[in-house]
Structure 1
Amino acid sequence: MKRYGLIGKSLKHSFSQEYFTRKFSDENIAAEYRLMPKQNIADFLAIVADDQLLCGVNVTIPYKKEIIPMLDSLSPVAAQTGAVNTVKIHREAGKLFLEGFNTDVPAFESEVIEKAGMPSGLALILGTGGAASAVAEALHQLEWDFKMVSRSKQSPNTILYANLNQMLLQQTTLIVNATPLGTFPDADASPPLPWQWINENHFLFDLVYNPPETLFIRRGKQNGARTSNGLDMLHKQAQLSWKIWNSP
């Protein structure tokens, strides 16, 4: 039986195991999908070496960037993004070859095309981690302008939450929460946006999908903004991961 799994630090929020278990049952696939919470990504290589049935893994917060030095090759999208959420494990003649991919990029790109319902404009990406990097690459491919927003890091294309102002919010049409804030069980957390300037001209996309309605989504709705959570994106990136694991 082939085995797949999800590696991250805290996985209580994840629906990935539920998604793949249902898929395997519905399609009569002899495989299993496990959650593999790890406090240290350094354990990854030992896990792969010890489990001969493991054929592929998904990678989530906070290891999407940290896992890269352990891999033997990266897809062009993963290399450009600097983040990996899917690893294909090759085993041949007792040797391992680990290949990294990023399915968040095409999944988010598809979500924007289907749901944003607006031409490319200015987006704010909340966060600077691996998920935020994938969102940035997707928006770049869709020819959106964007700025990343951070609590502490500042660079030419990254601004502080404290510097968000009315003029910038008036120019912005898409706001993406690419942080884990609001994820179960910390459902009352939310990025510190100046909510008085969020309105019906904005589309708020939350990569978080558990709970289905985060505080970020709820406050956006209260201000008249259109919203979407990350559940459909999760399904899309999972489907893409499955194709990668089963490609020649």
Structure 2
Amino acid sequence: MAYILNLETATTNCSVSLSKDGNTIAITEDARNGYSHAEKLHVFIDEVLREANLDSKALIDAIAVSKGPGSYTGLRIGVSAAKGLAYALDVPLISVPTLEVLAHQVSCNDGVIVAMLDARRMEVYSAVFNSKYNQIRDTKAQIIDETSFGTYLEQGNVYFIGNGVTKTKSMIQHPNAFFIEDKLPSANEMGQLAFNKYKISDTEDVAYFEPYYLKDFVALKPKST
């Protein structure tokens, strides 16, 4: 039996779950108020432990964190918290790709899943998975235009999911394109993925692990007033 605490902070959704042998037994999340992870994350951790009637953090067997890509600040907060907890509790640290977490919100028998997160302007971070959730195209930062994902669309159904869908829907017009809107990565889908890694000791070095940013952080200049 393994209790894993799962942290998802790659987008505006601050999401924490506790899973037992891969099954979510408690979850708290909030995507309504922008990036408030610094204030909410540790509060949510305490809430899920109470909801699951877990008396102590010492009963946790591993900490899992969504590793990116995503928001630079969100990822830093989540990974820092995960590393601190893993070190303090002396338990393994497990990382789960954010786009894989997102893809698991789609259930389909055919075609492919494109998990995508919004980046600047017409850019998204995206990865492509088959209906069994095996990744069949590398994670990329790409500019969306009318020809994007054309090869997959000509072959069959393509299910687009994530907060990159809005800009994609405005550019891609194809009968095989299905757009699943208003979805963000959630710790609810992390439990089984983290448990699969836990069983084979696929863990990270707490001292050296860093988020997968995909692109270098670029600070925006404040607007003049």
Tell me if both proteins adopt one fold, taking TM over 0.5 as the criterion: no
More helix by share: 1
Question: TM-score normalised to the size of structure 1?
Answer: 0.38
Question: TM-score normalised to the size of structure 2?
Answer: 0.41
Q: Which one has more relative contact order, counting CA pairs under 8 Å at least 6 apart?
A: 2
